Chains A and B, each alone.
Chain A
Amino acid sequence: MEPSAVDQHVNQPYKYGWSTDIESDLAPKGLNEDTIRLISEKKDEPEWMLEWRLKAYRNWLEMVEPNWANVTYPPIDYQAIHYYAAPKRKDQPKSLDDVDPKLIETFEKLGIPLQEQKRLTGVAVDAVFDSVSVATTFKEELKKHGVIFLPISEAIREHPDLVRQYLGSVVPPNDNYFAALNSAVFTDGSFVYVPKGVRCPLELSTYFRINALSTGQFERTLIIADEGAYVSYLEGCSAPMRDENQLHAAVVELVAHDDAQIKYSTIQNWFPGDEQGQGGIYNFVTKRGRCEGRNSKISWTQVETGSAITWKYPSCILEGDNSIGEFYSVAVTNNRQQADTGTKMIHIGKNTRSTIVSKGISAGKSQNTYRGQVKIMKGAANARNYSQCDSMLIGDQCGAHTFPYIDVRNPTAIMEHEATTSKVGEDQIFYCKQRGIPEEDAVSLIVNGFCKEVFRELPMEFAVEATRLLAVSLEGSVG
């Protein structure tokens, strides 16, 4: 797409930094088996789910927080966090009319109208506030097509067999430290099942909002595309400006069967902390997709502008023959943000193909790292990978780092890797200004051009949003 929204360049700090004044039902601070029992009880979960959580918790206790990422932060006190926070209410709301108007208002202010008459056309939304889903739109309409789109806590109750079959099948509870933590305490997130041969008629999307103080958000998302199915899903997020760091440790699992396709897009706009690096979200996320079936395809597109720290590697396990994995990423860091993000492409099946396009933009005093692994297993005959990692520096106090790991165990593989580093130079900006384009617009233009290959992968409805976000996030980065 053309960066058509560049001229909407606005002069404002983090726009979503306000909070909603609402009474919360909070679990006591701290993490132990009782906390987990409480969460499970609140969610009215079956026994097997509780056992699953407890097992993950016991695993987690044995694990050590990873320290290999190119990020630094003071130790996290896991006992100082509320693991459950939900707006107080008497009963489970049966329809949108029962939902606290304050919550509806909150999401409307975030640009996510939930009321029927104001809904975004063509997009079904699951709105998650702290630890609970407050509303899911178009549920009934989707049901007609056999598509299940529910908050995961509801899916555990209503479709236990499906959830049990797939939960943890791509990211096992003991996969890594943060995945284990999430498996123990996850609260809400979305569940999607698209049945055989169905092309999901709407874009599905989940919006995550952290509101309460001293809480962590542990979302869990599970998307399954059965044979020949297609689904496009988008997640968005934001949080109030607070001077404490808040933890967001999510797990997302995708499963694509034969000839199925999943397109997963993220616009990550968690509060990044202030100019001095005070506050902001620690975004420690495990996202992985399994192309289980032949000719299946999983495509990750992410635009990461928020969070104080991002630790995230959306990956694809290309198991089915002829399956395809894609990763398109724009990661922007400004001020004192740190991002260590990239992907893993594990080629197992024959004729599997993967494409990686990563664009890192660093400004201010930030550090931006691409970390990626491409692994071609022995049986993956004729596998192909194309990787392109471009870094752009704005100013001279930021850093860009690239760590590509390549592991090829089959001689028929074809690997291509390209990497560039460029600077938004005085000369580029001067060239634009000499044509009459003001400086801030010039920076937007240059940065948007740099990200073009990724933006064109986003669903239309969100591409404009991404362009605008980028402009805001780089606000004041050129002196």
Chain B
Amino acid sequence: MLEVKQLRGGIEGKEILKGIDLSVKPGEVHAIMGPNGSGKSTLAQILAGHPGYEVTGGSATFDGQDLLGMEADERARAGLFLAFQYPVAIRGVTNAYFLQSAVNAKRKERGLEELDTLEFADLIEARLAMLGWDDTLIHRAVNDGLSGGEKKRNEIIQLATLEPRLAILDETDSGLDIDAVQAVAEAVNKLRSAERSFVIVTHYERILKYVTPDHVHVLAGGKVVMSGDMQLALDLEARGYDWITNGVAVG
């Protein structure tokens, strides 16, 4: 589904990713771990197509399409979703309206009829019921005046509604208390399926206690320095990043 080969790139002329390889198959959950500055978030932003980042080498394909040649909105409509580490506020626009616009942009491209407000209300109600969450967030402005936990929960509601094929979670667990981490993890488990893949970018292994990844990769200095399974995450928890990154230049 996602094939990343020797991907290099960075921001403002500074190369942060120095040749990343990553292969995600349908239904798989990959965890990407690493210390601060290792390039985890840069990888997430570059895959999603943030215009502030530049790609300096390598390739990335999504379902065989050249991901790097697509605009951010094209990538999204093709089924790539990024849960933001710092979700952005949009004043005066409700989450419901925002999501309806997003759902309809996707439907329009596929030649499906756009959902009107009532049809969309049914859709969102069904998705919230699936998550077991109430609808208080839906009628508030997009990330405007929301607490950190609410913002992250809001990202998950968007994920559940847009039903992407690949979801990248960029430190969705950071800054959350343990109950909130658990709630997010539960939601991810409900959204896991044979067709949908996840890339969970995280600094800590604690979310992985609730969402068991198929693969764990450790990033350091802009490269994948080690890959393994859940055991690798547990080893990291016990021994810290120094155990792996010693001897690897942290860029």
Contact of A437 with B105 in the complex, beta carbons under 8 Å: yes
Which residues of chain A are within 8 angstroms of B82 by Cβ–Cβ distance? 434
Query: What is the bound-complex CA distance between A432 and B72, given in angstroms?
Result: 9
Given contacts A3-B93, A436-B106, contact A445 B141 (CB under 8 A): no
Which residues of chain A are within 8 angstroms of B77 by Cβ–Cβ distance? 436
Q: Which of B45-53, B185-193, B198-206 participates in binding chain A?
A: B45-53
Q: B54 to chain A: closest CB distance in Å?
A: 14
Contact of B91 with A439 in the complex, beta carbons under 8 Å: no
Query: What is the bound-complex CA distance between A174 and B97, given in angstroms?
Result: 50
Which residues of chain A are within 8 angstroms of B247 by Cβ–Cβ distance? none
Mask: chain B, 80-96; 1 = CB below 8 Å from A; 0 = not: 01101001101111100
Which residues of chain B are within 8 angstroms of A438 by Cβ–Cβ distance? 73, 105
Which residues of chain B are within 8 angstroms of A448 by Cβ–Cβ distance? 92-93
Contact of A430 with B51 in the complex, beta carbons under 8 Å: yes
Query: What is the bound-complex CA distance between A202 and B142, given in angstroms?
Result: 37
Q: Which of A16-24, A305-313, A450-458 participates in binding chain B?
A: A450-458
Q: A61 to chain B: closest CB distance in Å?
A: 48
Contact of A437 with B102 in the complex, beta carbons under 8 Å: yes
Query: What is the bound-complex CA distance between A252 and B186, given in angstroms?
Result: 62
Given contacts A2-B97, A436-B102, A452-B92, contact A431 B87 (CB under 8 A): yes
The A6-40 residues at the B interface (CB cut-off 8 A) are 6-7
Contact of B90 with A436 in the complex, beta carbons under 8 Å: no
Query: What is the bound-complex CA distance between A256 and B51, given in angstroms?
Result: 54
B158 CB within 8 Å of chain A: yes
Which residues of chain B are within 8 angstroms of A453 by Cβ–Cβ distance? 92
B71 CB within 8 Å of chain A: yes
A428 CB within 8 Å of chain B: yes
The B33-87 residues at the A interface (CB cut-off 8 A) are 48-52, 71-73, 75-77, 81-82, 84, 87
Contact of A449 with B162 in the complex, beta carbons under 8 Å: no
A441 CB within 8 Å of chain B: yes
Contact of B98 with A441 in the complex, beta carbons under 8 Å: no
Number of interface residues of B (CB under 8 A): 35
Q: A307 to chain B: closest CB distance in Å?
A: 25
Query: What is the bound-complex CA distance between A122 and B72, given in angstroms?
Result: 45
Query: What is the bound-complex CA distance between A446 and B75, given in angstroms?
Result: 21
Query: What is the bound-complex CA distance between A451 and B73, given in angstroms?
Result: 24
Given contacts A448-B92, A449-B92, A449-B141, contact A436 B73 (CB under 8 A): yes
Contact of A437 with B101 in the complex, beta carbons under 8 Å: yes
Which residues of chain A are within 8 angstroms of B162 by Cβ–Cβ distance? 435-436
Contact of B93 with A441 in the complex, beta carbons under 8 Å: no
Contact of B52 with A426 in the complex, beta carbons under 8 Å: yes
Contact of A451 with B72 in the complex, beta carbons under 8 Å: no
A409 CB within 8 Å of chain B: no
Contact of B88 with A427 in the complex, beta carbons under 8 Å: yes
The B78-135 residues at the A interface (CB cut-off 8 A) are 81-82, 84, 87-88, 90-94, 97-99, 101-102, 104-106, 109, 114
Contact of B71 with A433 in the complex, beta carbons under 8 Å: yes
Which residues of chain B are within 8 angstroms of A427 by Cβ–Cβ distance? 88
Contact of B92 with A451 in the complex, beta carbons under 8 Å: yes
Q: A2 to chain B: closest CB distance in Å?
A: 5
Query: What is the bound-complex CA distance between A446 and B98, given in angstroms?
Result: 10
Which residues of chain A are within 8 angstroms of B109 by Cβ–Cβ distance? 436
Query: What is the bound-complex CA distance between A445 and B90, given in angstroms?
Result: 9
Contact of A445 with B98 in the complex, beta carbons under 8 Å: yes
Contact of A439 with B52 in the complex, beta carbons under 8 Å: no
Q: Which of B88, B106, B114 contacts A431 (CB 8 A)?
A: B88
Q: A402 to chain B: closest CB distance in Å?
A: 18
Which residues of chain B are within 8 angstroms of A432 by Cβ–Cβ distance? 73, 90, 98, 102
Given contacts A434-B48, A436-B106, contact A445 B101 (CB under 8 A): yes
Contact of A450 with B92 in the complex, beta carbons under 8 Å: yes
Which residues of chain B are within 8 angstroms of A7 by Cβ–Cβ distance? 101, 104, 114
Nearest B residue to A452, CB-CB: B92
Which residues of chain B are within 8 angstroms of A431 by Cβ–Cβ distance? 84, 87-88, 90
Nearest A residue to B73, CB-CB: A433
Which residues of chain A are within 8 angstroms of B97 by Cβ–Cβ distance? 2-3
Which residues of chain B are within 8 angstroms of A425 by Cβ–Cβ distance? 88
Query: What is the bound-complex CA distance between A438 and B106, given in angstroms?
Result: 10
Contact of A446 with B76 in the complex, beta carbons under 8 Å: no
Q: B96 to chain A: closest CB distance in Å?
A: 9
Which residues of chain A are within 8 angstroms of B52 by Cβ–Cβ distance? 426, 430
Query: What is the bound-complex CA distance between A450 and B90, given in angstroms?
Result: 8
Mask: chain A, 340-362; 1 = CB below 8 Å from B; 0 = not: 00000000000000000000000
Nearest A residue to B78, CB-CB: A436
Query: What is the bound-complex CA distance between A350 and B192, given in angstroms?
Result: 64
Which residues of chain B are within 8 angstroms of A439 by Cβ–Cβ distance? 71, 73
Contact of B87 with A435 in the complex, beta carbons under 8 Å: no
Given contacts A430-B51, A445-B93, contact A436 B88 (CB under 8 A): no
Given contacts A426-B52, A433-B76, A436-B73, contact A446 B101 (CB under 8 A): no
5 contacts between A and B (CB under 8 A): A430-B48, A431-B87, A439-B73, A445-B101, A449-B142
Q: A: which residues have CB within 8 A of B?
A: 2-3, 6-7, 422, 425-428, 430-439, 441, 445-446, 448-453
Smallest CB-CB A-B distances: 6 pairs: A449-B92, A449-B93, A452-B92, A435-B102, A436-B76, A431-B88
Give me 9 other A-B pairs in contact (C-beta within 8 A), A436-B77, A436-B106 excluded. A426-B52, A428-B88, A432-B73, A433-B49, A434-B82, A435-B76, A435-B105, A437-B102, A439-B73
